[in-house]
Amino acid sequence: MGLPVNRALRFLPLLILVAFVGAVAWRLSTPANEKITSKMIGQPVPAFALAPATPVKPGLASTQLTSGQPRILNVFASWCVPCIAEAPLLGELRRRGVPIDAIAVRDRPEDVAAFLSRYGDPFDHIGADPESRAQLALGSSGVPETFIVDGRGVIRYQHMGPIEPGDLPGLIGQWEAAK
Amino acid sequence: MKHLLALMVFCATPALADSNLPPARWANEQLPNPRQEAEAKALMEELRCLVCQGQSIADSNAELAGDMRAMVRQRIAAGERPEQVRFWLIERYGNWVSYRPPVEPMTWPLWAAPIILLLAGAWQFRNRLTRRRR
């Protein structure tokens, strides 16, 4: 081994250290996106038949999502605080003619009923998902989440987290595109 | 006023982020068949919790992790192979959900790294020996 190579190699550990510190500093300043999106987009809705989440509303079967027109499928829970924030926006979507169904995750009938009477009820069907099975089958990783399902029952879009006013045009656009 | 506000913030009870339902039946209960329970447990340790990312569903107290444990136990009790259950979840959440990365072009460097490092170490070691002999 010649001397010049050795001299260059001497700085290798320092270079590795600088690269490592640089990588760590970069990830600290721009955190990775931790949203785990569903891989079911573009796939048919998984088969499920959920009992009514509250006595005043019919339950939800996956076959009801192949109605010929695109629908919104909202995954929510009465115990979920951000779900309260998005409730009026779901009402707004309903007023604009978007049909909405829902899955109530780990919920009791009386709690769902109280939630609907307090924060509004834009839903056609609400299925109960007491052990998060339908939620897992959809590839959803939390509440609230909103899926757009086209008329043939294929999942076309997923919105994670509460719907905010700025999300409405995008959601309606996706719903129109699923027609 | 500022102090009062700070005090109020510290005394506030955190908003309820858990449901009112008890854990699912098989979330914390072992399967009666020890072989199936061992298979389920091994798989749970390799599945990542969707809520508290970084923990396995075996370690996590999140409700969704409990529901995932219940699902794993129910499916294995129904005769599914652990790899089938893992694949079902990967179909929905991607490779992210499994702590055992698949062998595919994307992960070849990951699987090759130990071998390459061992070879590099052996090469270095050999160099040291020959140099000392000189």
SS3 annotation, chain A:
CCHHHHHHHHCHHHHHHHHHHHHHHHHHHCCCCCCCCCCCCCCECCCCEECECCCCCCCEEHHHHCCCCCEEEEEECCCCHHHHHHHHHHHHHHHCCCCEEEEEECCCHHHHHHHHHHHCCCEEEEEEECCCHHHHHHCCCCCCEEEEECCCCEEEEEEECCCCHHHHHHHHHHHHHCC
Q: Does residue A41 lie within any of the structural domains?
A: no
Question: Which DSSP symbol is given to A68?
Answer: S
Residues A26 and A95 in one domain: no
Q: Under a CB-based contact definition with an 8 Å cutoff, are residues B44 and B69 in contact? A: yes
Residues A96 and A16 in one domain: no
Q: Residues with Cβ < 8 Å from B100, sequence gap 6 or more? A: B46, B86
What pLDDT, on a 0 to 100 scale, did the predictor assign at position B14? 44
Residue B50 Cα, gap to closest chain A Cα (Å): 6
Token pair listed for B101: 């990365």
Peptide bond into B23 cis (omega under 30): no
pLDDT confidence bin for B13, thresholds 50/70/90: very low
Residues A102 and A22 in one domain: no
Token pair listed for A73: 């499928």
Residues A83 and A11 in one domain: no
Residues A2 and A84 in one domain: no
Contact B20 A111 (CB under 8 A): yes
pLDDT in tens, B59-85: 999 999 999 999 999 999 999 999 999
Host domain of residue A24? 1-32
Q: Residues with Cβ < 8 Å from A98, sequence gap 6 or more? A: A71, A72, A171, A172, A175
Q: Residues with Cβ < 8 Å from B86, sequence gap 6 or more? A: B43, B46, B47, B98, B100
Residues A95 and A156 in one domain: yes
pLDDT confidence bin for A3, thresholds 50/70/90: low
**Closest residue by Cα to residue B19 from A140, A125, A102, A105:** A105
User: What are the structural domain ranges in chain B?
Assistant: 24-100, 102-134
Residues A112 and A154 in one domain: yes
Q: How far is A124 from A61, CA to CA, in rounded Å?
A: 12
Q: Under a CB-based contact definition with an 8 Å cutoff, are residues B35 and A98 in contact? A: no
Residues A22 and A96 in one domain: no
Token pair listed for A15: 């270079």
Q: Does residue A43 lie within any of the structural domains?
A: no
Q: Does residue A94 lie within any of the structural domains?
A: yes
| CATH classification at residue A56 | 3.40.30.10
**Interface ipTM:** 0.84
Q: How far is A95 from B73, CA to CA, in rounded Å?
A: 43
Q: What are phi and psi of A60, to 5 degrees?
A: -130, 125
Provide, as residue numbers in chain B, all residues whose Cβ is less than 8 Å from the Cβ of A139.
92-93
Task: Give chain A's domain count.
Answer: 2
Q: How far is B22 from A62, CA to CA, in rounded Å?
A: 26
Residues A132 and A107 in one domain: yes
Average of per-residue pLDDT across A7-22: 91
pLDDT in tens, A49-102: 999 999 989 999 999 999 899 999 999 999 999 999 999 999 999 999 999 999
Residue A103 Cα, gap to closest chain B Cα (Å): 14
Q: Which of residues 8-27 of B touch A (CB under 8 A)?
A: 15-21, 24
What pLDDT, on a 0 to 100 scale, did the predictor assign at position B48? 94
What pLDDT, on a 0 to 100 scale, did the predictor assign at position A102? 97
Nearest-by-Cβ selection for A131 from B18, B24, B50? B24
Which option is the CATH number for B24-100: 1.10.3720.10, 1.10.8.640, 1.10.150.20, 2.60.40.2470? Answer: 1.10.8.640
Residues A72 and A111 in one domain: yes
Residues A5 and A56 in one domain: no
Provide, as residue numbers in chain B, all residues whose Cβ is less than 8 Å from the Cβ of A132.
24, 63-64, 67-68
Average of per-residue pLDDT across B42-46: 97
